């Protein structure tokens, strides 16, 4: 993996067990660590048996099972681990950055899966420095979209119903997406005020829901002209 050129036929990009062992060696160089108590070595047992999926460990202190993905962006994902590893490696080694569409072509999934991986991985990288988006004289665009809901996604176990995704995009800068329970004004306002700098200008599409984002202080007084101050 030190080679500049990515060999996409490498087992870690194609075999989920190899991908998991690769992640374990990266995240646990000294051996498995309980994500809850931080204990390791003799306090950890590997669960084995036909009824246990591979890569599950149990902590003798908190008595809870865990795997290498607990607490990471991959936790509870039904997308194969080898796809996560490949997508992360491709995005990390791309000098110019890539789009979700380019990622889809390279990892061979449907677009919804690639879009999901793209945003979660970019968000995970952004969260290393999780300051608010925007700032004085910067423009933040808000957008909500829906993914999932198509039968062809079932191979990856995505939920059958559509999921709302809310995105904030800083003009010529960072983007951040979150799943939201719904697209009501209350939910979106919460997402905006926790993710974006209040000095930013907020740009939205024509969705009427943003008009209901109630101001919480005189500085956020609504305006009928856009862009408007948050
Ligand atoms: Zn524990």
State the distance from the centre of ligand 1 to the C-alpha of 145, rounded, in angstroms. Answer: 38
Q: Are residues 112 and 56 in the same domain?
A: yes
State the distance from the centre of ligand 1 to the C-alpha of 42, rounded, in angstroms. Answer: 12
In a domain, 78, yes or no: yes
Q: Are residues 108 and 21 in the same domain?
A: yes
Structural domain count of the chain: 2
State the distance from the centre of ligand 1 to the C-alpha of 103, rounded, in angstroms. Answer: 36
State the distance from the centre of ligand 1 to the C-alpha of 57, rounded, in angstroms. Answer: 10
Q: At what angle do helices 100-107 and 111-126 cross, to 10 degrees?
A: 120
In a domain, 134, yes or no: no
Q: Are residues 96 and 195 in the same domain?
A: no
**Rounded to whole angstroms, what are the CA distances from 59 to 56, 66, 68, 136, 183?**
10, 8, 13, 47, 39
Range of the domain at 29: 11-126
Q: Are residues 25 and 117 in the same domain?
A: yes
Distance CA 21, CA 29 (A): 11
Of 74, 96, 126, the last residue of a domain is 126
Q: What is the 3-state secondary structure (H, E, C) of the chain?
A: CCCCCCCCCCHHHCCHHHHHHHHHHHHCCCCCECCCCCCEHHHEEECCCCCCCCCCEEECCCCCEECCCCCCCCCCCCCCHHHHHHHHHHHHHCCCCCCHHHHHHHHCCCHHHHHHHHHHHHHHHHCCCCCCECCCCCEEEEEEEEECCCHHHHHHCCCCCCEEEEEEEECCCCEEEEEECCCCHHHHHHHHHHHECCCCEEEECCCHHHHHCCCCCHHHCCCCCCCEEC
Of 68, 103, 126, the last residue of a domain is 126
**Rounded to whole angstroms, what are the CA distances from 226 to 48, 139, 140, 207?**
59, 11, 12, 13
pLDDT at 22: 93
Q: Which residues surround ligand 1, an ion (CB under 5 A)?
A: 34, 36-37, 59, 61-62
Q: Are residues 104 and 175 in the same domain?
A: no
In a domain, 4, yes or no: no
Return the structure tokens found at 229: 């101050």
State the distance from the centre of ligand 1 to the C-alpha of 65, rounded, in angstroms. Answer: 8
State the distance from the centre of ligand 1 to the C-alpha of 33, rounded, in angstroms. Answer: 8
pLDDT at 10: 93
Of 126, 147, 166, the last residue of a domain is 126
* Number of neighbouring beta carbons within 10 Å of residue 26: 11
State the distance from the centre of ligand 1 to the C-alpha of 89, rounded, in angstroms. Answer: 30
* pLDDT string in tens for the chain (230-residue length): 444 578 889 999 999 999 999 999 988 888 898 888 888 788 899 988 777 788 999 999 999 999 999 888 888 899 999 999 999 988 888 877 789 999 999 999 999 999 999 999 888 775 444 466 667 667 666 666 555 444 444 444 444 445 555 566 666 666 666 656 666 666 666 666 666 666 666 666 555 555 555 454 444 444 444 444 44
State the distance from the centre of ligand 1 to the C-alpha of 44, rounded, in angstroms. Answer: 8
* Number of neighbouring beta carbons within 10 Å of residue 199: 14
Residues ≥6 apart with Cβ < 8 Å to 2:
none
CB 209 within 8 A of CB 184: yes
pTM of the model: 0.53
pLDDT at 155: 46
pLDDT at 46: 92
Q: Are residues 106 and 168 in the same domain?
A: no
State the distance from the centre of ligand 1 to the C-alpha of 118, rounded, in angstroms. Answer: 31
Q: Are residues 103 and 32 in the same domain?
A: yes
């Amino acid at each position: 993996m030190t080679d500049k050129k990515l060999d996409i036929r490498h087992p870690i990009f194609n075999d989920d067990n190899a991908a998991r062992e690769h992640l374990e060696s990266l995240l646990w160089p000294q051996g498995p660590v309980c994500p809850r108590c931080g204990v390791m070595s003799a306090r950890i047992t590997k669960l084995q048996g036909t009824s246990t999926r591979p890569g599950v460990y149990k902590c003798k202190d908190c008595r809870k099972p865990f795997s290498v993905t607990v607490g990471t962006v991959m936790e509870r994902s039904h997308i194969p681990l080898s796809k996560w590893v490949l997508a992360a490696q491709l995005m990390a080694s791309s000098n110019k950055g890539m789009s979700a569409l380019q990622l889809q072509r390279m990892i061979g999934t449907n677009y919804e899966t690639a879009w999901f991986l793209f945003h979660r991985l970019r968000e995970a990288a952004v969260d290393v420095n999780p300051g608010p988006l925007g700032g004085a004289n910067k423009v933040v665009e808000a957008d909500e979209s829906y993914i999932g809901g198509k039968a062809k996604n079932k191979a990856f176990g995505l939920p059958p119903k559509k999921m709302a995704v809310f995105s904030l995009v800083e003009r010529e800068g960072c983007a951040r997406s979150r799943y939201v329970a719904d697209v009501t004004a209350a939910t979106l306002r919460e997402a905006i005020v926790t993710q974006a700098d209040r000095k930013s200008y907020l740009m939205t599409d024509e969705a009427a829901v943003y008009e209901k984002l109630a101001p919480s202080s005189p500085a956020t007084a609504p305006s009928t002209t856009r862009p408007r101050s948050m």
